[in-house]
Amino acid sequence: MARVVVVDDDQEVVDLLVWILRQEHYEAAGFTAADAARRAIKANPPALVLMDLTMPLVSGAELCRELKSDPRLREVRVVFLSGHGFLEREASGAGADGYLGKPFDLDDVIRCVAQQLGSPERMAGGEDGAVRRV
């Protein structure tokens, strides 16, 4: 069972996504603070992190850059879920593997997770290394 970590400063978003992921038979953990998520990710690296870009104290972009620069964690897939106006540019600049805009459709999130975790029709992180909407 693949492990997915959800990081968003909105507790309702975290609770909803963790619940949906568990319904889809993923092991899921949720965090509303990047610092707590960082500790959990380092202690038990997940296959995928779904993360808001805009959070207090430590932004999603900062946490993503940190994960991607750590040799133990650089293979962890990171997808931003955000309503940020420059989401594509921010995701690319931080080294994310993909992004979905908010508000998002839950079916799109489920499809995104499946794609990021190895489904043959994966759209993000293509052969050219470009970050794409997933």
pLDDT tens for the 134 residues of the chain, in order: 899 999 999 999 999 999 999 999 999 999 999 999 999 999 999 999 999 988 888 889 999 999 999 999 999 999 999 887 777 888 888 999 999 988 899 999 999 999 999 854 433 344 444 455 55
Sketch the domain layout of the chain as residue ranges: 3-133
Q: Which tokens belong to 103? A: 């508000």
Would you tell me how many other CB atoms lie within 10 Å of the CB of residue 12? 8
CATH assignment of 3-133, among 3.40.50.10680, 3.40.50.2300, 3.40.50.970, 3.30.70.20: 3.40.50.2300
Alpha-carbon distance of 112 to 134, in angstroms, equals: 5
**How many whole angstroms from its chain centre is CA 127?**
20
The backbone region for 59, taken as left when phi is positive above 0, alpha when psi lies in -120 to 50, beta otherwise, is: beta
Which residues make Cβ contacts (< 8 Å) with residue 121, sequence separation at least 6? 115
pLDDT of amino acid 133: 57
Return the amino acid letter for 60: G
Alpha-carbon distance of 104 to 1, in angstroms, equals: 24
Q: Are 122 and 87 in contact (CB under 8 A)?
A: no
